[in-house]
Amino acid sequence: MTAVPPPISASGADRAAPHAETAHGTVRGTLEPGVAVFRGIPYAAAPVGAHRFRAPAPPEPWEGAREAVAFGPTAPKRPYAPPLDRLLPDPEVPGDSCLNLNVWTPSPARTGLPVLVWIHGGSLLHGSSAVPLYDGAAFARDGVVFVSLNYRLGIEGFGVFPDAPANRGLLDQLAALGWVRDNIASFGGDPDLVTVCGESAGAISIGALLAAPRARGLFRRAVLQSGAPSALPLDKGRRTTELIAKRLGVAATARDLAAVDPAALLAAQTSVTSGGSPLTGGNSFQIVVDGDLLPREPAEALRDGAASGVDLLMGSNTEEYRLWFVPSGLTERLSRTKLQLALMKFKVPGATARTYRANRPGATPGELLGALATDLLLRVPLNRLADARTGAVGGTHLYEFGWPSPVQRLGACHGLEIGFVFDNLDRPDAVALAGRDAPQELADAMHTAWVRFAVSGDPGWPAWDESRPVMLFGPGAPGTVRAPRDDELRGWAPYRGQR
């Protein structure tokens, strides 16, 4: 059980510290320039012992004021493998109580402020709310209560067992959103004005939450950055769990894997899931259609109107693939023969490949494969979803981030937009991806758009319609373009709302 913090003292410093009442007890945060911050608040019990591989349970109440000045424990994970570890820092905070969240607010004394809840990415294997880039001070500075959360990762959160609920990491996110509904008013937020926002695996998670009947009413708006709604059937989602169990010589059940030393379980997970990427494939953990939380495949459910009434802001980066292809050397290493094999594997129509090649006359085979994979996995499904929502209740806005980073020829790669959205270009992890001279005016534009969307549902450009407006954030000044690179999108079927 988590130790109970000491009761409130009577010192002057303590009286100046911000306090907030939650359903489980009082929390004491810290004042930082212009904002009040509360870190490491438990929204569920530690997922260990009887709670291991189970749906999240409520945290134990506490007496007195709980210190909420430092990030709480992170979910069990390993760092990114080289060379990504140098580009994507992934802090680790030890401890069992990893189901915790953080709040940045202009003041707990305010009322009725919009709320933005951040769900981090990391392929459902990495990441946490303690990543420096995810500091929410700029949102609080601009009148938005910002919440970030941890959830279970890897086999702990997304392993598929016959004797445990599936999608436990998604259930964690649902529990955190329930905490926001019940408690955010104490931090100045409006529980009826919640926007949920995520990138990569965080965006994929939000796609599932949008399709989950149990999540209805927990948020009014959603932002999907570089992640499209998707999920696997249970039998396919079980494969990675079975491979890990086989490596350890135990049955692929929650009971047997819970008896394995946690370090050995994490080592086996790393071994089984290494060597691939979200674009090239490999063994991975995925959200699954479990017939309970997710009765249907999310993309299909959303195209049929499951998120009617929820405003959506969605988009991707022009060169998502470069985060994986460039540092690994795949852009230069991939041969024409391997490109052809990949095109056959992904069933890319010949005419489509020729269009992409004609539009990129100097591209290497690796760059062509990256452009095709980026659109197949991100731009095409997001456009299809936008098409299906044309005329539906709830606005839909699309963006594309195209500013090219000069760092290691990363270009407009996966994850690069986050520092701009958070207005945190001075953070070391933002500098690692974008360099020291990234355009502040672009951060001003993106951050303002996200704030506007959280406040009103209108980020500042036309909603999706038959003219297909997309806000391009770089290169150059931001501006709306109608149907960008439409010749490439037309090469993928179905298209324009067809199913």
Q: Which of 148, 200, 205, 277 is catalytic?
A: 200
Check residue 12 and give its pLDDT.
41
Domain 12-318+395-487 has CATH 3.40.50.720: no
Q: Is 200 a catalytic residue?
A: yes
Amino acid at 483: A
Is residue 226 within 8 A of residue 148, CB to CB? The reply is: no
| Structure tokens given for 237 | 């989602």
Residue 6: which pLDDT band, with cuts at 50, 70 and 90? very low
Dist CA 159 CA 145 (whole Å)? 33
Check residue 277 and give its pLDDT.
79
Summary mean pLDDT of the chain:
94
Check residue 419 and give its pLDDT.
98
Edge to edge, what strands does the sheet with 469-473 contain?
30-32, 35-42, 100-105, 145-149, 113-119, 189-199, 221-225, 311-317, 396-401, 469-473, 479-482
Residue 207 has pLDDT above 80, yes or no: yes
Residue 9 has pLDDT above 70, yes or no: no
Check residue 2 and give its pLDDT.
34
| Structure tokens given for 358 | 């004609």
Residue 392 has pLDDT above 60, yes or no: yes
| pLDDT (tens digit per residue) in 53-73 | 999 999 999 999 999 999 999
Question: Chain centroid to CA 10: how far?
Answer: 41
Q: What are phi and psi of 369, to 5 degrees?
A: -60, -40
Where exactly are the structural domains of the chain? Answer: 12-318+395-487
CA-derived radius of gyration, the chain: 22
Residue 32 has pLDDT above 80, yes or no: yes
Which range (86-100, 101-115, 481-495) has the least confidence? 481-495
Report which of residues 305 and 391 the model is more confident about: 305
CA distances from 179 to 190, 206, 412 (A): 13, 17, 35
Instruction: Give Dmax over CA atoms of the chain in angstroms.
Output: 73
Check residue 407 and give its pLDDT.
97
Q: Is 320 a catalytic residue?
A: yes
| pLDDT (tens digit per residue) in 291-318 | 999 999 999 999 999 999 999 999 999 9
Check residue 494 and give its pLDDT.
63
Q: Is 414 a catalytic residue?
A: yes
| Rounded average pLDDT over 93-107 | 98
| pLDDT (tens digit per residue) in 370-384 | 999 999 999 999 999
The per-residue b/e assignment along 19-37, b for 16 or more CB within 10 angstroms, e otherwise, is bbebebbbbbbbeeeebbb
Crossing angle for the helix pair 365-374 and 336-345, to the nearest 10 degrees: 20
| Rounded average pLDDT over 77-106 | 96
Q: What are phi and psi of 283, to 5 degrees?
A: -70, 130
Pairing type for strands 145-149 and 100-105 reads antiparallel
Q: Which of 24, 120, 126, 414 is catalytic?
A: 414
Dist CA 158 CA 309 (whole Å)? 29
Q: Which of 320, 367, 417, 488 is catalytic?
A: 320
Residue 13 has pLDDT above 80, yes or no: no
Residue 205 has pLDDT above 90, yes or no: yes
Q: Is 235 exposed, middle or buried (0-12, 13-18, 19+ CB in 10 A)?
A: exposed
pTM score > 0.85 for this model?
yes
